[in-house]
Structure 1
Amino acid sequence: MNKIPSGTLVVVADGQGARVFRNIGTPMAPSLQQLDLLELVNMNDDGPSGVIAADASGQEIHEATFAKQLALGLNEGALKDQYAHLLLVADPQTLGRMRPLLHKQTQQRLIGEMAKTLTNARLEDIERALAP
């Protein structure tokens, strides 16, 4: 992983939830402070992201909807200038669902992506995975 500037918003997600951190360490030695824990909310208000197969399971629809909600939340944060740098850590499917939904402002703040499922990992394991 490349250097992660201090203050970077680090989102560790999968199709069911996300942990949101801020790097309070240095670029060479990230130290994460958890800010939030996100889950799917108001499922009936949002549809899933991307094209969903007609035979998709309820779980697949929930995961696609959460990816959409997460991307839209990150877009809102970027447009309100709530973070300068963003690092996404998510399983490949969630990353793929989020990418086309990321606003230009969000994309400009994105310093990297890591295609790994670390949502339920210990904090120390996440920090170790991010270390340069």
Structure 2
Amino acid sequence: MLLPHGTMFALVDGENFELYRNAGKEASPELTAVDVPDLAPTNYSAGMKDHDAGSRYPANPKDRTSRLDEAAHVAAVTHWLNKQAMENHMDKLVVIADPKSLGEMRRHYHKTLEATILEEVPKTLTGRSGPEIVAALRA
């Protein structure tokens, strides 16, 4: 996959959000870290499914709180990405997120953000270096 100069990379999981920009060339990308905002997860309705509320055998409350925290974090990241796209701060984006987070993100995509997405990669790559991320994308 060719990665145009200036492409942004959002790496997301239930607890982490990392942002990179391709400072290299299209054929030889060099990812550099970009500062991410301190996001306050406030959308605690995110990720709630009907069966969670009415289950005959409710899940462990601690597990349920953890799932809510993760979904709220992912929703907050997506809303920030939406804003960046709508304010024309990014025009090319690659989203790399674990499958669960990616599914939650898709629920919150704005059409403007969808138009900027070059690729979605359902992998957990948070905490990896730029070269490791590029190698994983090419694998």
**What TM bracket, shorter-length normalisation?**
0.7 to 0.9
- Judge conservation of contact 2:74–2:105 (CA < 8 Å) in 1: yes
Alignment of 1:1-132 (within 5 A): 2-37=1-36, 41-43=39-41, 45-52=42-49, 53-54=52-53, 55=59, 57-131=64-138
User: What RMSD over aligned residues (CA atoms) do the two structures have, in Å?
Assistant: 1.8
- Judge conservation of contact 1:12–1:89 (CA < 8 Å) in 2: yes
* Mapped partners of 1:66, 1:120: distance in 2: 17
Unaligned runs of 5+ in 2: 54-58
Task: Note the C-alpha offset of 1:48.
Answer: 4.1
Q: How much identity, in percent, do the aligned residues show?
A: 28
Could you list the per-position Cα deviations for residues 8-51 of structure 1 after superposition, in whole angstroms to 9, with x for gaps in the alignment? 11011111011100111112111101002466x434x3324233
Unaligned runs of 5+ in 1: none
- Please identify, of 56-65 and 6-15, the stretch whose mean Cα deviation from structure 2 is larger: 56-65
Q: If the length of structure 2 is used for normalisation, what is the TM-score?
A: 0.84
Q: Helix, strand or coil for the counterpart of 1:81?
A: coil
Q: Helix, strand or coil for the counterpart of 2:26?
A: coil
Change in 2 beyond 3 A, CA 1:124/1:48: farther
Q: Any runs of at least 4 consecutive aligned residues in structure 1 with deviations exceeding 6 A, and if so which?
A: none
* Mapped partners of 1:6, 1:37: distance in 2: 19
Could you list the per-position Cα deviations for residues 41-74 of structure 1 after superposition, in whole angstroms to 9, with x for gaps in the alignment? 434x332423342335221111100110011000
* Mapped partners of 1:107, 1:76: distance in 2: 12
Q: Helix, strand or coil for the counterpart of 2:85?
A: helix
Computing the radius of gyration from Cα coordinates, the structure with the larger value is 2
Could you list the per-position Cα deviations for residues 60-108 of structure 1 after superposition, in whole angstroms to 9, with x for gaps in the alignment? 1111001100110000001100011010001000000000211000000
- Judge conservation of contact 1:3–1:27 (CA < 8 Å) in 2: yes
* Mapped partners of 1:22, 1:123: distance in 2: 10
Q: If the length of structure 1 is used for normalisation, what is the TM-score?
A: 0.88
**Amino acid of the structure 2 residue aligned with 1:47:** Y
